[in-house]
Chain A
């Protein structure tokens, strides 16, 4: 079983300050500054090549930063020996020895980490692999490999858990199971950092988000804050389709940028839809539709990562 953690304090589990990593002429991570508080589930989002894996590897001591600094559990990331015994990680695809059984793979890692063999059975039970532990790792499905990778990350009963795409390859039931596991780990006071491309999963499991693009920070904060602040697109449609461009002209003269979408117009960043209605009415245009558009995380993510610098 997983032990309970002290209640989450206001302390910071991970700090990143001006972290930069260059590979030759490529800047993978560019002056990134982020604080991740202790306890809860934090989503690390970004399009392919955003630098998520490089950030994770720097946090785990696998890659040295070019410049900048960071701490994990109050220890500098340049001294991973000090904090890694309290950290569990699944980095990119789960990798183990294909001809060895799952149980022997885990026992080998347990020995390396100084963890008793008894813990192996516990983590196998947690991820639902009891009964399949003698199968060779190479015979496992992607979902089972993913579960085994999470089991390996849990071996040391970590305070900080870093999981790169943990639900990759899982079936819907498996995704829900792992999501519930992550949420329960976060509620126990552990800090869970999870990167995923399944935005709905991130939205369901995470309390906070860190969004990066081209190695730079785009957003950091509670997920509700991101969704609240960005649910401000307004869609409006004139009663007569031919009035669309005239309405766009009027709005433009009032300093409002409206983007045509079919017979309608979409206004981003609008705090007062009533003001749009007033402008249309003053110009003698009757609106047949005026409503705020609900944006989910996917909409926001796509907007941030396709337009933000």
Chain B
């Protein structure tokens, strides 16, 4: 029999936590990129939203266009995050791109071989990696929310935005929904990346489906937005939509998340590593 010998440098640590800590060490740049991309986008949208507000006169009809939509949005209880809400789909796409890039890059660089030799339990490795990516997405959304909030508060005083309905509890609830939505975008990105094993293919496929594909489906299927992921994510962020209630959207998205997680785990655990 082969005898095992003592290894003083080995540490007893939960493998998922070890994978999480290992990935975090590598994701600093990814986190910085995500936070900067989301914050910049949200800052621009917030500034446009607030500066586009026109004073509403008694009895007048709202002017058409984005500025009008922004006016109504800013007057809501969570209006301080108006810029983030308006940009939520693009924030989601950034989350999708970040996770797809991080997951697919391991296959493209070949680092997946080294990683899985050091943590052969693929599901534990994957759990730690997804946890680390989730932390990156949460931190990036938090940074974007802070930017949206600070700019919203700053600009509200110097514009004609109606802030009388603003409330902290509604803002926190919307922030939580935005974060959950971004995490789901990220999960979908990771699932596509594990199947595609190519960052460019995964990001292109994700963006094409969520931004173009679902809209095209909407042309032939009126209720597409009430059943498909992108439309449901919008409904989740908005606290529900005319076609789908908040809880229904949340339940359907949970179903999509389960399918994405099952696909991701099965493919990752079973596929040969030939990269």
Contacts and interface: CB of A to CB of B under 8 A. Distances in A.
Contacts of A63: 272-274
A114 B21 CA distance: 10
B222 interface: no
A93 interface: yes
A109 B26 contact: no
A176 B58 CA distance: 88
A224 interface: no
Given A63-B272, A96-B111, A112-B115, A86 B13 contact: no
B61 interface: no
A95 B11 CA distance: 25
B110 A93 contact: yes
B40 interface: no
Interface stretch (B2-10, B209-217, B238-246): B2-10
With a 10 A CB-CB cut-off, give which of A107, A108, A112, A157 has the most chain B CB atoms: A112
Interface string A79-95: 01100111101011101
B62 interface: no
Contacts of B1: 11, 74
Interface residues of B, number: 36
Interface of A: 3, 5-6, 11, 13, 23, 38, 57, 60-64, 73-74, 80-81, 84-87, 89, 91-93, 95-100, 104, 107-109, 111-116, 118-119, 122, 152, 155-157, 159
A116 B7 CA distance: 10
Interface string B1-41: 11111010111110100110111011001000000000000
With a 10 A CB-CB cut-off, give which of B118, B120, B121, B125 has the most chain A CB atoms: B118
Contact of A118 (B7, B9, B15, B121): B9
Contact of A111 (B25, B111, B273): B25
B109 interface: yes
Given A5-B5, A62-B272, A108-B23, 11 more contacts: A11-B1, A57-B273, A61-B117, A89-B117, A91-B117, A111-B18, A112-B22, A112-B115, A114-B15, A157-B7, A159-B2
A109 B272 contact: no
B107 to A, nearest CB: 11
22 contacts: A57-B272, A74-B1, A89-B117, A95-B109, A96-B109, A96-B111, A96-B114, A99-B29, A108-B25, A109-B22, A111-B18, A111-B21, A111-B25, A112-B22, A114-B10, A114-B11, A114-B12, A114-B13, A115-B10, A116-B9, A156-B10, A159-B2
With a 10 A CB-CB cut-off, give which of A62, A73, A74 has the most chain B CB atoms: A62
A97 to B, nearest CB: 6
Contacts of A74: 1-2
Interface in B48-91: none
B115 to A, nearest CB: 6
A152 B114 CA distance: 9
B103 to A, nearest CB: 14
Nearest to A160: B2
B21 to A, nearest CB: 5
Contacts of A115: 9-11
Contacts of B2: 11, 13, 38, 73-74, 159
Contacts of B18: 111-114
Nearest to A58: B272
Contacts of B111: 95-97
Nearest to B25: A108
Contacts of B121: 81
Contacts of B267: none
Given A57-B273, A156-B7, A95 B22 contact: no
B123 to A, nearest CB: 11
A95 B117 CA distance: 13
Contact of A109 (B11, B110, B114, B120): B114
A73 B110 CA distance: 26
Contacts of A87: 117
A254 B98 CA distance: 75
Contacts of B12: 114
Contacts of B115: 109, 112
Contacts of A6: 3, 5
B110 A86 contact: no
A178 B19 CA distance: 30
